[in-house]
Amino acid sequence: MKKPLLFVTLILMIGLALPVIGMAQDSMQFPVNEFTLANGMTFLVVERHTSPVFSGFITVAVGSAYEKTGNIGSAHLLEHMMFKGSQTVGTTDYPAESALMVKEDSVWAKIDEARRQARYIKINHPENLDLHLKYIDSLKVVLDSLSAQSSRYVLQNEFDRIYTRNGAGEFNANTGYDRTQYYVSLPANRLELWFNMESDRMKYPAFREFFPERDVVSEERRGSVENSADSKMMEQLIGASFIAHPYRLFWEWQSEVLNLSRNDLADFFKTYYIPGRITVAVVGDVKTEEVKMLAEKYFGDMPGGPEPEPIYAVEPDQPGERRVEVVFESSPTVFIAYHMTAFDSPEQPAFQVINRLLADGRTSRLYKTLVLEKQICLDISAGYFPGAELGDNFPGIFTIYAYPKEGISTADVEKEIYAELNKLAAAPVDDKELTKIKNRIDAEFVWGFYSNLGLADKLAVAQNMAQDWHYLLKFRSNLKAVTANDIMSTAKKYFTKENRTVATLIPKQTGDAQ
Amino acid sequence: MKKLTLIFAALALLLNSTVNAVNPRDMKFPPLKFEPAEPVRFTTDNGMVVYFLENKELPVFTAGMLFKGGTAYDPADKSGLTELTARLLRTGGAGKRTPDQVDQDLDFVGANITSGATFDYLILDLRGLKKDVNLGLEILSDMMRRPGFDTAKIVMELSNKKDEILRQNDDPSQLTRRVFYQTVYAGHPYGQFPTMASIGNINREAILEQYRNYYNPDNCIMAISGDMTLDEVKSLVKKYFGDWPKGNRVIPLPPQAVMQYKPGVYYAEKDINQAQVRMGHLCMNDKNPDRYAMDILNFALGGGGFTSRLTGEVRTTAGLAYSVASYAVHRPDMGTFFAFCMTKAEAMGQATQMMLDIIKKVKDSGITQEEMDMAKESMMNGFVFNYVTPDQIVNAKAYHELSGFPPDQLKKDLESYKAVTLDDCRRVAAKYLDLQKMAIVITGNKALFDKPPDTFGPVTNFPMEIK
């Protein structure tokens, strides 16, 4: 069964430019080795021999922004299903298990259909409704019994068990709006294990234990969004800010995710998990030659696929301020959003600098004025949404999150925030303040190399987003080139009332009549 | 002929490959051989211990200061004093610098100092670029030796703390955590949390006294790492901390925690659609030799992520939770064992019963050989992750020494874990897991629950009003 290399045709393309990340001024240099397999999968390798460990980071160019009505929740649920193992890991008998999964799916399709019929039976033949609902219940019993049967073949969580037994640290995944990422750190002598595990789940996935996992994802929404004041606010803020672009969906809805089928995921997987959309970074105590050899061996035979439809939707200009309220059992907050730019816009660096001017550190303008001097906020911060560190694929929003002190109205806090934003548009930032920001950008850049995983993340994301990891260096030099005028003109153009969306949290009093 | 057939069969398989050549589960690796980087330890004349680890890879440095004396040392009527003292060291000005100047000088070069308190320790952390090491240490040393405790900043921090108290029931997880600690540590400093009244009792004099009692070189271990030589570090430490006078204070352990609560349900009512359940009891301290068996046991029960019983049964099989786990927390005085779960309100009873059943099963029959092997292999193969970043290595040394462990505690721990037997696990499970002593904290809206809270014992309604 061992595959002779003869049958694997591979072309390695090595990066031509001198691939060194880091600059003499930082007195650090990390050579980045880059190669792309024939099927289009790109690898970046940084050898770092300080500790006998490595981090493997895989990023796939698909996230929730690629979902459409009907398959919303697919990116996230799929990320969960990728931990279920493969057609070998996690099972004692895949053919038998797979036959049962097909049966489960057909019963689920019947439940889905019967639920839709129930609506018409209710209005046209109400006398039959009771029987129909009993029929649905009986299908659920069949589904449960099929799940119980297939569980006999399942080696539960074996994928995790193998990594855990091998000492994995920092083992997780996350689903974003533009990308989904899978990462783990392992002892250096487990490099081949990592290739085997990751290629196995990418090439031969098995979406076992599908129905309970759908419930887990639903429970995750309940914990992370429905019972978190900040996330509830974000969901409304995002939903109000966007009307056209898929960024409008902060998190998948219960109603969508709980109606996904295994086939929805299989389609989503087949469409987007193709080598050309996958970037891999390996950082740590590894040898590039060995990484290349293993990459060929394990990912070389992953089939390519056609490039899927891109996202065409463009968010139209906002014609006026939008305001939303969230009533929740929590203290008042006010979140403010302004439409901004995508990562490749010439104005993006100015936004990055403005963010740091406003809310990075205790001397930043919003923190200093609202928290330290006027003392009207307990805390205040700023950021972006979706908020990837190096920018987002599509125009997102610039956000400010304020937590007013007791007795201070959100309106008063808003007023002070707008005054600060107006100052940015009205007067140039002085040299000392701008130098501070640039010093901080340098320090931030250097600290970005502290952990293997952090570096692997940045490299893989830069490559995946900009199609060239050198974007990581460009990002820094672009930020350092921002002038006081750039800041003024960007602030003037974007921090307008029309371009703004405001969400306020109104505390819910238990026992309120209204 | 036979040979030829085999080759054809192999080719057919190749063309229709549906598996990798070797199943990952069958891959075996020898234990990783490595020599952990060993920090240098030296002592100053005023009794301060310093750990240093040189690392030239990046032009950065870190300097941590660790002291005995966390929130457990708050005077009974001044809960919050330790935390506020820690915050004000950072925000109240230092030496010749006003509070604003401290912020400006650090922010300007992208350096950072944080100061905080856990139950048992006080922790300061400075990090910055190597070129700014003098500036950073000068400010850190001023904070330690010449803190400003600016009056206006004291007023502000006290007011902010009161605002935090007003928000203390906002986040369901924080609320559940607080109810649990207030319950199982009733009558003990670990169970005391700041109130409006206790903050009202704090003034500058109390802060100064707290500062004088705990922030002393003979109660401090420093942990330094980064792009410097040992000689540089020795002279820097001498320059900035060499003439810092000893405190000569004795820091006693907090009083021994004893069980003062009545087992049963502690219900915190909050109008949310999810229930949070945290169940547990007092368990053991961090010097108890049974803690190794307890950790392995807990790994199998609920500490080992997806390999654990709680995750496997409550999450993977039943789909009832995204977050479910158990913890064995060992503290210098008395730690806790607890299990935690977040589930939809309509499944509160079902999930709680599952967790109780799983704990009971482990108490009655211990864990399996396979589970113990999983826990041990994970610890052994993952041991290297204790030694990845330079700050992590020196900080661990400082923590162990301050907590009264020998310098090679990490290695000793590993040996002790290896030596644990299934019988140890059984004995420790029977001795320490105790369903009769459980405080079961349930946060949520009981109108939505599948079973009433009193299904799991007599109910105490946790007072939600903010005092």
Q: What are A288-314's pLDDT values in tens digits?
A: 999 999 999 999 999 999 999 999 999
End-to-end CA distance of chain A: 70
| Nearest chain B Cα distance for residue A311, angstroms | 31
Same domain for B60 and B186, yes or no, is: yes
Q: Are B230 and B54 in contact (CB under 8 A)?
A: yes
Report yes or no: B381 at the A interface, CB cutoff 8 Å.
Answer: yes
B residues 8..27 contacting A (CB < 8 A): 10, 13-14, 17-25, 27
- What is residue A17's predicted lDDT score, i.e. its pLDDT? 33
Q: What are A321-340's pLDDT values in tens digits?
A: 999 999 999 999 999 999 99
Ramachandran quadrant class, B117 (left: phi over 0; alpha: psi -120 to 50; beta: rest): beta
Q: Are A507 and A334 in contact (CB under 8 A)?
A: no
For an interface test with A, give the residue of B322, B343, B368, B370 to mutate (most A CBs within 10 A): B322
- Asked casually if ipTM beats, i.e. exceeds, 0.90, the reply is yes
DSSP assignments along B325-374, one per residue? EEEEE-BSS--EEEEEEEEEGGGHHHHHHHHHHHHHHHHHH---HHHHHH
CA A204 to chain centroid: 23
Q: Which residues pair with A186 in a beta bridge?
A: A54
Mean pLDDT computed over B169-192: 96
| Nearest chain A Cα distance for residue B161, angstroms | 9
Q: Is the pLDDT of residue A407 over 60?
A: yes
Q: Are A85 and A201 in contact (CB under 8 A)?
A: yes
Mean pLDDT computed over A230-242: 98
Same domain for B211 and B273, yes or no, is: no
Q: Is the pLDDT of residue B121 over 80?
A: yes
Same domain for B135 and B268, yes or no, is: no
Phi then psi for residue A151, to 5 deg, are -65, -20
B33-58 residues labelled b (16+ CB within 10 A) or e (exposed): ebeebebeeeebebebbbbbbbbeeb
Q: How far apart are CA B120 and CA B67, in angstroms?
A: 9
Residues of A in contact with B319 (CB under 8 A): 211-216, 219
For an interface test with A, give the residue of B88, B107, B309 to mutate (most A CBs within 10 A): B107
| Nearest chain A Cα distance for residue B89, angstroms | 15
Q: Is the pLDDT of residue A12 over 60?
A: no
The reply to whether B32 falls in a domain is no
Q: How many residues are given for chain A?
A: 514
Residues of B in contact with A435 (CB under 8 A): 108
**Pairs across A and B, CB distance < 8 A:** 230
Facing residue for A164 by CB, picked from B127, B128, B304:
B304
Q: How far apart are CA A55 and CA A458, in angstroms?
A: 12
CA A305 to chain centroid: 23
Same domain for B53 and B140, yes or no, is: yes
B residues 260..319 contacting A (CB < 8 A): 269-274, 304-307, 311-312, 315-319
Residues 6+ apart with CB under 8 A from B56: B227
Outline where A387-497 has alpha helix (H).
Answer: 410-426, 431-447, 452-466, 471-480, 484-494
CATH number of B402's domain: 3.30.830.10
User: Which of A152 and B14 is assigned the larger pLDDT?
Assistant: A152
Q: Is the pLDDT of residue A80 over 70?
A: yes
* Residue A373 per-residue DSSP state: I
Report yes or no: A381 at the B interface, CB cutoff 8 Å.
Answer: no
Closest to A446 in 3D by CA, of B387, B225, B110, B107: B110
Q: Is the pLDDT of residue A413 over 80?
A: yes
Confidence of residue A220 (pLDDT cuts 50, 70, 90): very high
Q: What are A105-120's pLDDT values in tens digits?
A: 999 999 999 999 999 9
Domain count, chain B: 2
Helices B230-241, B133-145: inter-axial angle, 10-degree rounding: 30
Residues 6+ apart with CB under 8 A from A92: A153, A154, A155
The reply to whether B159 falls in a domain is yes
Same domain for B216 and B350, yes or no, is: no
- What is residue A154's predicted lDDT score, i.e. its pLDDT? 97
Residues 6+ apart with CB under 8 A from B33: none
Q: Which of these three, B241, B272, B301, is where a domain ends?
A: B241
Q: How do beta strands A33-36 and A42-47 pair?
A: antiparallel
Q: Are A299 and A37 in contact (CB under 8 A)?
A: yes
Same domain for B170 and B272, yes or no, is: no
Phi then psi for residue A255, to 5 deg, are -65, -30
Q: Is the pLDDT of residue A8 over 70?
A: no
Indicate the burial class of B420 (C-beta count within 10 angstroms; 0-12, 13-18, 19 or more): buried
Report yes or no: A319 at the B interface, CB cutoff 8 Å.
Answer: no
Least confident of B18-32, B53-67, B190-204, B417-431: B18-32
Residues of B in contact with A233 (CB under 8 A): none
Q: What are A122-158's pLDDT values in tens digits?
A: 999 999 999 999 999 999 999 999 999 999 999 999 9
Type of residue numbered B442? I
Ramachandran quadrant class, A69 (left: phi over 0; alpha: psi -120 to 50; beta: rest): beta
Q: Which residue has the tokens 């935390």?
A: B83
Q: Are A159 and A90 in contact (CB under 8 A)?
A: yes
Residues 6+ apart with CB under 8 A from B409: B400
Q: Which residue has the tokens 């199943």?
A: B23
Q: What are A367-383's pLDDT values in tens digits?
A: 999 999 999 999 999 99
Residues of A in contact with B111 (CB under 8 A): 443
Indicate the burial class of A129 (C-beta count within 10 angstroms; 0-12, 13-18, 19 or more): middle
Mean pLDDT computed over A242-267: 97
- What is residue A9's predicted lDDT score, i.e. its pLDDT? 23
- What is residue A167's predicted lDDT score, i.e. its pLDDT? 96
Can you read off the two tokens belonging to residue A72?
A: 């919303």
Can you read off the two tokens belonging to residue B452?
A: 């009433």
Q: What are B204-235's pLDDT values in tens digits?
A: 999 999 999 999 999 999 999 999 999 999 99
Same domain for B293 and B417, yes or no, is: yes
Same domain for B190 and B299, yes or no, is: no
Q: Is the pLDDT of residue B86 over 70?
A: yes
- Average of per-residue pLDDT values in chain A: 93
Facing residue for A447 by CB, picked from B20, B60, B167:
B60
Q: Which residue has the tokens 């306020």?
A: A504
Report yes or no: B447 at the A interface, CB cutoff 8 Å.
Answer: no
Cβ–Cβ below 8 Å for B110 and A443: yes
Closest to A392 in 3D by CA, of A454, A481, A466, A337: A466
Residues of B in contact with A203 (CB under 8 A): 20
Closest to B190 in 3D by CA, of B100, B108, B260, B120: B120
Phi then psi for residue B435, to 5 deg, are -70, -20
Q: What are A15-65's pLDDT values in tens digits?
A: 233 345 555 556 677 899 999 999 999 999 999 998 999 999 999 999 999
Q: Is the pLDDT of residue A266 over 80?
A: yes
Topology of domain A322-507 in CATH is Cytochrome Bc1 Complex; Chain A, domain 1 (3.30.830)
Topology of domain A23-91+154-299 in CATH is Cytochrome Bc1 Complex; Chain A, domain 1 (3.30.830)
The reply to whether B100 falls in a domain is yes
Same domain for B79 and B180, yes or no, is: yes
Residues of A in contact with B160 (CB under 8 A): 378, 405
Domain range spanning residue B98? 41-241
| CA Rg value for chain B | 26
Percent of chain A surpassing pLDDT 70: 94
For an interface test with A, give the residue of B170, B448, B464 to mutate (most A CBs within 10 A): B170
For an interface test with B, give the residue of A48, A50, A299 to mutate (most B CBs within 10 A): A50
A residues 320..359 contacting B (CB < 8 A): 329-331
CA angle (B95, B97, B103) in 5-degree steps: 125
Facing residue for A301 by CB, picked from B17, B159, B317:
B17
CA B382 to chain centroid: 19
Q: Which residue has the tokens 């009971």?
A: B360
Confidence of residue B145 (pLDDT cuts 50, 70, 90): very high
Same domain for B195 and B312, yes or no, is: no
Type of residue numbered A186? L
Cis peptide before B59 (omega within 30 of 0): no
| A161 to chain B: closest CA residue | B307
The reply to whether B291 falls in a domain is yes
The reply to whether B8 falls in a domain is no
Least confident of A160-164, B9-13, B163-167: B9-13
Same domain for B214 and B308, yes or no, is: no
- What is residue A26's predicted lDDT score, i.e. its pLDDT? 65
DSSP assignments along B36-85, one per residue? ----EEEE-TTS-EEEEEE--SSSEEEEEEEEE--GGGS-TT-TTHHHHH
Q: How far apart are CA B150 and CA B156, in angstroms?
A: 10
H/E run at residue A336: strand A334-339
B300, HSE (Cβ side, Cα atoms, 13 Å): 27
Outline where A82-205 has alpha helix (H).
Answer: 94-124, 129-151, 158-165, 191-203
- What is residue B407's predicted lDDT score, i.e. its pLDDT? 83
Confidence of residue A265 (pLDDT cuts 50, 70, 90): very high
Facing residue for A442 by CB, picked from B110, B162, B388:
B110
For A225, other C-beta atoms within 10 Å of its C-beta total 18
Same domain for B237 and B142, yes or no, is: yes
Q: Is the pLDDT of residue B175 over 60?
A: yes
Cβ–Cβ below 8 Å for B20 and A160: no
- What is residue A4's predicted lDDT score, i.e. its pLDDT? 29
* Residue A178 per-residue DSSP state: S
Confidence of residue B39 (pLDDT cuts 50, 70, 90): very high
Q: Is the pLDDT of residue B16 over 50?
A: no
Q: What's the count of helices (H) and strands (E) in chain A, helices before strands?
A: 17, 14
CA angle (A78, A81, A82) in 5-degree steps: 90
Q: Is the pLDDT of residue A170 over 80?
A: yes
| Nearest chain B Cα distance for residue A393, angstroms | 28
- What is residue B17's predicted lDDT score, i.e. its pLDDT? 59
Mean pLDDT computed over B267-293: 97
